[in-house]
Structure 1
Amino acid sequence: MADDEIDYNIVFPDAGTSERHWQGTKEPVVILLGWAGCKDKHLSKYSSIYNEQGCVTVRYTAPLKTVFISESFGYKELSSTAQKLLEILYDYEVENSPILFHIFSNGGFMLYRYIAELLHSDKQFSSLCVIGALVDSAPGSGNVRGALRALTATLGSKISPVLRYVLLAVFAVTVFLLRVVLYPLTKYIHKNHYDAVQERPPAWPHFFLYSKADQVIRHRDVEVFVGALKQKDVPVDSFDFVSSPHVSHFRDFPEQYALKCRDFLVACMKELQGTEIKKRQRVQSQ
């Protein structure tokens, strides 16, 4: 069972709430992928937005070593994590429900990259019904300074100052060499998350929430990514909160943020229902 292998949380809404919002249709499953170092108590505040809308929510945050070490050295540990996370849907028998992703920072986006690849290539998972992806404070590309800020914030005061500086120095050198200097060569072995998703983006709608005040993910990285998706005819929208720090848009603008999440979810569900109606009409006309 996948639930014995990765540390996640799943919440089911009460039947009355689901029926009130979705009126007999299958309630959506929202998969929240946390930022590096994210605690579940923080991620649960975001999941409550969807639980109140009658959605099932799955919360998961990849381990720090996987995000900052495995990915930096080109080890695709998150690929197996992505598979285990999707298997949870079958464990709880919600694989036929509409699925929405809510992704935070590069830590969540790295995992989303492998999930998207599985949904493209795996016969079992390709039948899952993904209706959209909301991306908070991501993706970023080749930003060593931003990565160092993220790692510094994540480490906090848990370790001694000397060890912290040693870890940051090693991380900075590794990332700079493998992801900047040697990337024209190493990308043929292990392409970064930014380029991988940009070159083969999923077709479902995307909504990017970001801020020009973000000191970890450069706003122009997000804007370039949005532009690339538009050129490939992927339904995409974005919103700049302007002043909020990295993954702090909900903290600084709680009502506005929650409203945008709900509106995107509803729009994705309406698009799905419209597509299903058209399919039924085509079948009936044959």
Structure 2
Amino acid sequence: MGDADIDYNIVFPESFITERHWQGSKEPVVILLGWAGCKDKHLTKYSSIYNERGCITVRYTAPLKTVFISEPFGYKELKTTAHKLLELLYDYEVENNPIFFHIFSNGGFMLYRYMAELLASHKRFSTLVVVGAVVDSAPGSQNVRGALRAIRASLGPNINVVVLYFLLALFACMVFLLRVVLYSVTKYIHKNHYDAMQDQPPAWPQLYLYSRADRVIRHRDVELMVKAVEEKGVRVDSFDFGTSDHVSLFRDFPQEYSSRCLAFLASCMQNAAGTQKKQRLSVAN
């Protein structure tokens, strides 16, 4: 269930299910990165989509303090966590399997950003093969009001009202100062997740699922990211569910959500197999 440093869950499907769906090929490892305040029981519902298709799944959610305090202040704790999560692939001897990401909200996207950077720059991880990523309700950029809604939801209903509003006021001031007023300077020290991934998106295919009714992540932020990724020549798809609240797409549209995720995974796996075949033919010739 985890080691001394990070609290994760990994699930291996039954061998007969894997064989039925992947027919001798290596099954994908799907890494699910939860939203801030997400419980593992919530991620389990999503991982079951992939487990039922014979995929290995790894579930992890970054702590609230890391997402809402360390990251805005420029302490890159999430980069260390990203390294540990990628090391898990070697620990469980699945480093040769195709990797697929499923990311939720800014909390998951911040961690995904560092994993993508390590995959691109770290020698040890250079041989890992990522086939694609699904991004759910993310990313958002410099949205103080949305961030306040996110932290309020993450803290839950049982927190003292006075403490809640004190924390919200403190967080609002901090974010507004560091990520809006001073960002033109601080970005040279610590670029935020949105700008970093907009400037240098990973090369693998990406599917963005979002909603215009989301009151935490603005739909135009997602749409601008999709456009930026597409302009970099990366394959990118998106779908607007229209009426769902933040990270509620699967809850409101379970069948369509699952179908889109699985169809995209299948397409990514097919593309990866085609690329490998072309590489083998090129070497042979």
TM-score range, shorter chain: over 0.9
Determine if the alignment matches structure 1 residue 39 to structure 2 residue 44: no
Deviation at 1:238, TM superposition (A): 0.2
Moved over 3 A (4+): none
Show the 5 A alignment for 1:165-244. Answer: 165-244=165-244
| Residue 116 of structure 2: aligned partner | 116
Give 1:18's aligned amino acid: T
For 1:208 and 1:3, how far apart are their aligned partners in 2? 31
For 1:228 and 1:23, how far apart are their aligned partners in 2? 37
| Residue 280 of structure 1: aligned partner | 280
Show the 5 A alignment for 1:69-84. Answer: 69-84=69-84
Deviation at 1:184, TM superposition (A): 0.2
Deviation at 1:38, TM superposition (A): 0.1
For 2:108 and 2:240, how far apart are their aligned partners in 1? 19
Deviation at 1:284, TM superposition (A): 2.0
Measured against aligned partners, the alpha-carbon deviations of 1:115-145 in whole angstroms (never above 9, x if no partner) come to 0110011000111000001000000000000
Determine if the alignment matches structure 1 residue 252 to structure 2 residue 252: yes
For 1:124 and 1:203, how far apart are their aligned partners in 2? 18
| Residue 86 of structure 1: aligned partner | 86
Show the 5 A alignment for 1:24-35. Answer: 24-35=24-35
For 1:178 and 1:126, how far apart are their aligned partners in 2? 33
Which blocks of at least 5 consecutive residues in structure 1 are unaligned? none
Secondary structure of 2:126's counterpart equals helix
For 2:136 and 2:3, how far apart are their aligned partners in 1? 26
For 1:240 and 1:186, how far apart are their aligned partners in 2? 33
Deviation at 1:32, TM superposition (A): 0.0
Give 1:93's aligned amino acid: E
Measured against aligned partners, the alpha-carbon deviations of 1:163-217 in whole angstroms (never above 9, x if no partner) come to 0000000000000000000000000010000000111111000000000000000
Secondary structure of 1:4's counterpart equals coil
Show the 5 A alignment for 1:125-204. Answer: 125-204=125-204
For 2:71 and 2:172, how far apart are their aligned partners in 1? 13
Measured against aligned partners, the alpha-carbon deviations of 1:259-286 in whole angstroms (never above 9, x if no partner) come to 001001100000011011111111222x
TM-score (norm 1): 0.98
For 2:282 and 2:69, how far apart are their aligned partners in 1? 50
| Residue 22 of structure 1: aligned partner | 22
Paired residues, number: 284
Give 1:147's aligned amino acid: A
* Range moving further from structure 2, 275-284 or 136-145: 275-284
Tell me if structure 2 keeps the 8 A contact 1:3–1:88.
no
Measured against aligned partners, the alpha-carbon deviations of 1:12-34 in whole angstroms (never above 9, x if no partner) come to 00110000000000000000000
Give 1:169's aligned amino acid: A
Measured against aligned partners, the alpha-carbon deviations of 1:66-90 in whole angstroms (never above 9, x if no partner) come to 0000011111110100000101100
The percentage of counterpart residues that share the same residue type is 71
| Residue 49 of structure 1: aligned partner | 49
For 1:45 and 1:102, how far apart are their aligned partners in 2? 13
| Residue 61 of structure 2: aligned partner | 61
For 2:75 and 2:46, how far apart are their aligned partners in 1? 30
| Residue 266 of structure 1: aligned partner | 266
For 1:117 and 1:198, how far apart are their aligned partners in 2? 13
Measured against aligned partners, the alpha-carbon deviations of 1:93-114 in whole angstroms (never above 9, x if no partner) come to 0000000000000000000010
Measured against aligned partners, the alpha-carbon deviations of 1:44-84 in whole angstroms (never above 9, x if no partner) come to 00000000000000000000000000011111110100000
For 1:261 and 1:117, how far apart are their aligned partners in 2? 24
Deviation at 1:158, TM superposition (A): 2.9
For 2:3 and 2:28, how far apart are their aligned partners in 1? 20
For 2:26 and 2:153, how far apart are their aligned partners in 1? 39
TM-score (norm 2): 0.99
